[in-house]
C-alpha cells in the first residue's frame, strides 16, 4: 500500500518541481529573457540603443529602440520596459517609458536606456527648426487697374513658430499681363482687368493665391503731403493715392512717375522720395494712368547748427554690423535725419569701417570713432569691436497678455461680414462682431484671464517707457525710407510711416511717441538680417492708425489710447493690445 502511495505521488512531485522552476524563472525576468516553459531564463549580456546617432529639427521627434541580447544569442525589443533618460533635457527630452525623444533646442544630447542592470546610449542632434508650410497673405485680394498690392509670406516651423520670409522668398505672377509682381519684394501692380495666380516659393515649399484686378475707372490721384517743408540735405517721402469710380482707393506711389521742376533745389526719385538740395522751393509732380498731381516743396532757409550720431556708443563683435543714425539740428531748432546724405568716416577703418549710409562693420578688436559730416558740421560716436558679443537687451515680457493677438480694455469693433482672421486669443468686454479665430484660441469677454492680461499689458508698457533712449528727437518723424538697427527710439512728436521702414538685425526695437502712431496706406514695416517681429514694440501715447493695405510688424501697445487697423492691413507676427478700444476691418493678425 505504501509502495502504491509513493507511486501515485510521483507525478505530483514532478509537476510541483516544474512549477517551482517556472516561478523562479519568472521572478528573475528583469535579468534575462523570459523563460520558455520548462526551460531556464537566458542571461542578459548586452543592451543596444538604435539608431546610434540621429538628427531631428527642433520641435520634431525621434523614436529610439532598445534591444536586449541574451546568452543564448537571442534578442528582444525592450523599448517599452526600459527606463529612458536624456543627458541634456533642455536640448532633447525623452519619454521615460517609450524612448520617444523630442528636439527642444539646438545642440546634442545623449539618450540612454537602462534595462536589467545594463545600459546603452545614442546621440540625438537637434537642428534648427524645419520649415513646414508657407502662407501667402492677403488671401484672394482684389485691386483696381494700376493699384498696388503688397503680399507677405509667413513660414510655419517645426517648433510651432511663424516667421516672415519675405526677404528670402521668390514671388511670381501666372498672368503677368494682368498683374506684375516684384520677384524679390512681393509688390504686385494691376495692369489689366482679370485674375492672376500669385505664387511664392521659399525653403523648397510653395503657396499661392488669386489676385483679381477690377476694371474700375481711375478718377483722380492725390499727392501727399501737400506743401512739405524740409531742411537742406534732408529727405521726405511723398505718396500718391488713386481714387476709382467704384469708390475704392489705392496707394500707387511705386507705379507713378515723379518729376521735379527745379531739381537743383528739390530733387525726386522713383517711389516719391524727395531730397532738399538747396535753399528755395520747387514743384514736384506725379503722374499715373493719365492723371497728375503736384505739390510745392520748400527747402528751409535755415543753417545747420549741429550733428548728433546715435547711438553715442555701440559694441559689436568682429564681422558684425551697427547702423548709426545722423540727426541734424538746424538754426530754427528743427531736426532731421540725414544719414543718407551725410559723409561718413572712421578714424580707424582697420578696426571699424563705415559705409555711405552709416552702417559700420567690426573689422578687428579695438575701438573706432565713427563720424558724420555735412555743411561744415560733424558729429561722432564710439564703436567698440570685441571678440565676444555684449549682452543683448532683454525682450519685453508681456506676461499674461502674450497669448492675445487682439486685446482691448473697452471694446472691439469688427466689421460684419468681413474677413478678419486672428491667430491668437482675443479679449474685450464689448465686441460688435466676434473676430474669426484660428483653431485652438479663445475669445475672452470677462474673467480673471482677461483682467490679468490687461494688468500685465500695463506692466510691459511701464518697462518699455522706463528704458534709456538710444535715439531722442525733439519733434515728430516720418520713418518711411529709413533702415534702423535695434534700439530705443524716442520722439516728442508723432511717428509716421510713409512707404517702407526696414528694421535691420536681431535685437529689441522700441519706438516711443509722445503723440500718435500713423502708417499711411500700403506702408510696410520690413524685417531684415534676423530682426523678429516679436521684439518690435510700438508705444504711442496717443491713438494709433494703420492705413489700408499696410503690412505692419510688431506689438502695438496702447496704454490708454485707441488702435485702428485699416482695411485689409495685416499684422503677421504682431499684436494690437490696448487698454482702450480696438477697431478691425478685414485684417489678418497672427501673434
Q: Which residue has the higher pLDDT, 55 or 234?
A: 55
Q: What is the pLDDT of residue 40?
A: 60
Cα angle 247-248-252, degrees, rounded to a multiple of 5: 135
Confidence of residue 338 (pLDDT cuts 50, 70, 90): confident
- Do residues 438 and 479 share a domain? yes
Question: Where residue 315 sits, what CATH number does that domain have?
Answer: 2.60.40.10
pLDDT at 390 over 80: no
Structure confidence at residue 432 (pLDDT): 92
Whether residues 169 and 291 share a domain: the answer is no
Reported as half-sphere exposure (CB side, CA atoms, 13 A), residue 275 has a value of 15
pLDDT higher at 115 or 340: 115
- The answer to whether 588 and 421 are in contact (CB under 8 A) is yes
At 125, the pLDDT band (50, 70, 90 cuts) reads very high
| Shared-domain flag, residues 142 and 204 | yes
What pLDDT shows up at residue 389? 64
Asked if residue 315 and residue 358 are part of one domain, the reply reads: yes
Residue 192 lies in a domain: yes
**Same domain assignment for residues 443 and 576:** yes
| 232 falls within a domain | yes
Winning range, highest mean pLDDT, from 14-28, 181-195, 369-383: 369-383
Question: Which pLDDT does position 440 carry in this prediction?
Answer: 87
240 lies in some domain:
yes
Q: Is the pLDDT of residue 137 over 60?
A: yes
3-17 pLDDT tens trace:
434 444 444 444 444
Distances from the Cα of 319 to the Cα of 113, 362, 363, 516, 548, angstroms: 43, 5, 6, 37, 39
Structural domain count, the chain: 6
Rounded-to-integer distance, Cα 440 and Cα 375, Å: 59
> Does 260 score more than 90 pLDDT?
yes
Rounded-to-integer distance, Cα 429 and Cα 435, Å = 13
Lowest mean pLDDT across 33-42, 65-74, 486-495: 33-42
pLDDT at 253 exceeding the cut of 90 = no
| Cβ neighbourhood burial of 418 (10 Å; 0-12, 13-18, 19+) | middle
Report whether 499 contacts 481 (CB < 8 A): yes
Note whether 531 and 555 are within 8 A (CB): no
pLDDT band at 26 (very low <50, low <70, confident <90, very high): very low
Q: Both 325 and 424 in a single domain?
A: no
Q: What share of the chain is helix, strand, coil (3-state, %, to 5)?
A: 10, 50, 40
- Closest of 197, 181, 191 to residue 214, by C-alpha: 191
Residues 142 and 13 in one domain: no
The domain containing residue 86 runs over which residues? Answer: 42-127
Return d(Cα 2, Cα 240) in angstroms, integer: 120
- At residue 32 the predicted structure's pLDDT band, cuts being 50, 70 and 90, is low
Eight-class DSSP state of 29: G
The predicted-structure confidence for 464-520, as pLDDT tens digits, reads as follows 998 888 777 777 888 988 888 888 998 888 999 988 898 988 889 999 998 999 999
More confident residue, 264 or 165: 264
Radius of gyration over every alpha carbon of the chain, rounded to an integer in angstroms: 33
Residue 83 lies in a domain: yes
State pLDDT tens for residues 400-414. 999 999 999 999 999
Within a domain: 392: no
Same domain assignment for residues 403 and 499: yes
Integer Cα distance of 88 and 110 in angstroms: 7
Q: Are residues 308 and 415 located together in one domain of the fold? A: no
Report the mean per-residue pLDDT for the chain.
86
Is pLDDT of 554 > 70? Answer: yes
Q: In this predicted structure, what is the pLDDT of residue 300?
A: 81
- Structure confidence at residue 366 as a pLDDT band (50, 70, 90): very high
pLDDT of residue 27: 38
Give the per-residue pLDDT at 425: 96
In this prediction, residue 241 carries a pLDDT of 81
Q: Is residue 86 part of a domain?
A: yes
Co-location of 26 and 160 in the same domain: no
Distance CA 51, CA 46 (A): 16
Q: Is residue 543, in this structure, part of any structural domain at all?
A: yes
Indicate the residue among 177, 195, 214 that finishes a domain: 214
pLDDT value at residue 1: 43
Which of 41-45, 80-84, 251-255 is predicted least confidently?
251-255
pLDDT of residue 68: 94
Q: How confident is the model at residue 346 (pLDDT cuts 50, 70, 90)?
A: very high
Is residue 297 pLDDT above 80, yes or no?
yes
- Is there a domain that residue 393 lies in? no
Do 223 and 208 have their domain in common?
Answer: no
- ω into residue 305 within 30 of 0, thus cis? no
- Identify the CA nearest to 219 among candidates 285, 147, 287, 291: 291
Query: For residue range 570-585, what is the model confidence (pLDDT) as tens digits?
Result: 898 899 999 999 999 9
Q: What is the percent of the chain where pLDDT is above 90?
A: 45
Burial class of residue 392 in the structure, from the number of CB atoms within 10 Å of its CB (0-12 exposed, 13-18 middle, 19+ buried)? exposed
Rounded to whole angstroms, the Cα distance separating 383 from 371 reads 10
In this structure, the answer to whether residues 6 and 90 fall within a common structural domain is no
Of 70, 104, 127, which marks where a domain is finished? Answer: 127
The reported pLDDT for the residue numbered 163 is 77
Average pLDDT over every residue of 436-458: 93
The residue from 337, 360, 386 where one domain ends is 386
Q: What is the pLDDT of residues 222-249, one digit of tens each?
A: 888 888 888 777 778 888 888 887 777 7
Query: What is the CATH classification number for the domain harbouring 63?
Result: 2.60.40.1080
Reported as a single tens digit per residue, the pLDDT across 140-150 is 887 878 777 88
- Mean pLDDT, rounded, for 521-543: 90
Amino acid at each position: 500500500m505504501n509502495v502504491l502511495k509513493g507511486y501515485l505521488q510521483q507525478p505530483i512531485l514532478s509537476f510541483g518541481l516544474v512549477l517551482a522552476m517556472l516561478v523562479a524563472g519568472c521572478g528573475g525576468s528583469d535579468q534575462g529573457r523570459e523563460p520558455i516553459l520548462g526551460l531556464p531564463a537566458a542571461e542578459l549580456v548586452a543592451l543596444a540603443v538604435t539608431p546610434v546617432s540621429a538628427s531631428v529639427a527642433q520641435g520634431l521627434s525621434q523614436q529610439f529602440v532598445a534591444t536586449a541580447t541574451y546568452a543564448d544569442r537571442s534578442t528582444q525589443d525592450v523599448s517599452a520596459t526600459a527606463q529612458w533618460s536624456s543627458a541634456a533635457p533642455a536640448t532633447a527630452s525623452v519619454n521615460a517609458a517609450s524612448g520617444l525623444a523630442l528636439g527642444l533646442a539646438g545642440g546634442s544630447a545623449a539618450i540612454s536606456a537602462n534595462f536589467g542592470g545594463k545600459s546603452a546610449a545614442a546621440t540625438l542632434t537637434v537642428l534648427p527648426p524645419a520649415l513646414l508650410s508657407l502662407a501667402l497673405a492677403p488671401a484672394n485680394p482684389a485691386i483696381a487697374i494700376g493699384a498696388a498690392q503688397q503680399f507677405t509670406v509667413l513660414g510655419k516651423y517645426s517648433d510651432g513658430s511663424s516667421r516672415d520670409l519675405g526677404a528670402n522668398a521668390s514671388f511670381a505672377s501666372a498672368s503677368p499681363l494682368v498683374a506684375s509682381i516684384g520677384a524679390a519684394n512681393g509688390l504686385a501692380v494691376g495692369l489689366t482687368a482679370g485674375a492672376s495666380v500669385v505664387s511664392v516659393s521659399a525653403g523648397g515649399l510653395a503657396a499661392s493665391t488669386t489676385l483679381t484686378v477690377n476694371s474700375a475707372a481711375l478718377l483722380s490721384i492725390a499727392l501727399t503731403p501737400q506743401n512739405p517743408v524740409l531742411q537742406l540735405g534732408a529727405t521726405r517721402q511723398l505718396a500718391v493715392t488713386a481714387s476709382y469710380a467704384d469708390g475704392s482707393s489705392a496707394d500707387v506711389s511705386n507705379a507713378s512717375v515723379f518729376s521735379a521742376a527745379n531739381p537743383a533745389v528739390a530733387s525726386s526719385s522713383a517711389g516719391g522720395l524727395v531730397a532738399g538740395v538747396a535753399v528755395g522751393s520747387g514743384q514736384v509732380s506725379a503722374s499715373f494712368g493719365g492723371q497728375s498731381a503736384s505739390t510745392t516743396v520748400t527747402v528751409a532757409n535755415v543753417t545747420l547748427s549741429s550733428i548728433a550720431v546715435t547711438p553715442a556708443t555701440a559694441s559689436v563683435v568682429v564681422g558684425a554690423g551697427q547702423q548709426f543714425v545722423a540727426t541734424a539740428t538746424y538754426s530754427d531748432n528743427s531736426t532731421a535725419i540725414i544719414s543718407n546724405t551725410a559723409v561718413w568716416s572712421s578714424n580707424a577703418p582697420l578696426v571699424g569701417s563705415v559705409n555711405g549710409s552709416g552702417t559700420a562693420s567690426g573689422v578687428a578688436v579695438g575701438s573706432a570713432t565713427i563720424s558724420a559730416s555735412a555743411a561744415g558740421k560733424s558729429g561722432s560716436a564710439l564703436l567698440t569691436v570685441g571678440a565676444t558679443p555684449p549682452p543683448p537687451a532683454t525682450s519685453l515680457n508681456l506676461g499674461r497678455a502674450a497669448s492675445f493677438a487682439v486685446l482691448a480694455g473697452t471694446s472691439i469693433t469688427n466689421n460684419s461680414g468681413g474677413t478678419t482672421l486672428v491667430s491668437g486669443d482675443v479679449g474685450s468686454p464689448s465686441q460688435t462682431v466676434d473676430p474669426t479665430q484660428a483653431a485652438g484660441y479663445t475669445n475672452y469677454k470677462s474673467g480673471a484671464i482677461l483682467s490679468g492680461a490687461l494688468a500685465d499689458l500695463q506692466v510691459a508698457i511701464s518697462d518699455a517707457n522706463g528704458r534709456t533712449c538710444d535715439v531722442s528727437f525733439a519733434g515728430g518723424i516720418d520713418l518711411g525710407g529709413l533702415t534702423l538697427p535695434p534700439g530705443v527710439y524716442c520722439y516728442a512728436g508723432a511717428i509716421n510711416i510713409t512707404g517702407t521702414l526696414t528694421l535691420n538685425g536681431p535685437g529689441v526695437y522700441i519706438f516711443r511717441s509722445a503723440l500718435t502712431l500713423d502708417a499711411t496706406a500700403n506702408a510696410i514695416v520690413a524685417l531684415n538680417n534676423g530682426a523678429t517681429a516679436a521684439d518690435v514694440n510700438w508705444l504711442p501715447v496717443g491713438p494709433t492708425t494703420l492705413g489700408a493695405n499696410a503690412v505692419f510688424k510688431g506689438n502695438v501697445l496702447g496704454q490708454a489710447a485707441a488702435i485702428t487697423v485699416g482695411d485689409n492691413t495685416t499684422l503677421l507676427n504682431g499684436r494690437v493690445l490696448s487698454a482702450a478700444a480696438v477697431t478691425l476691418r478685414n485684417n489678418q493678425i497672427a501673434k
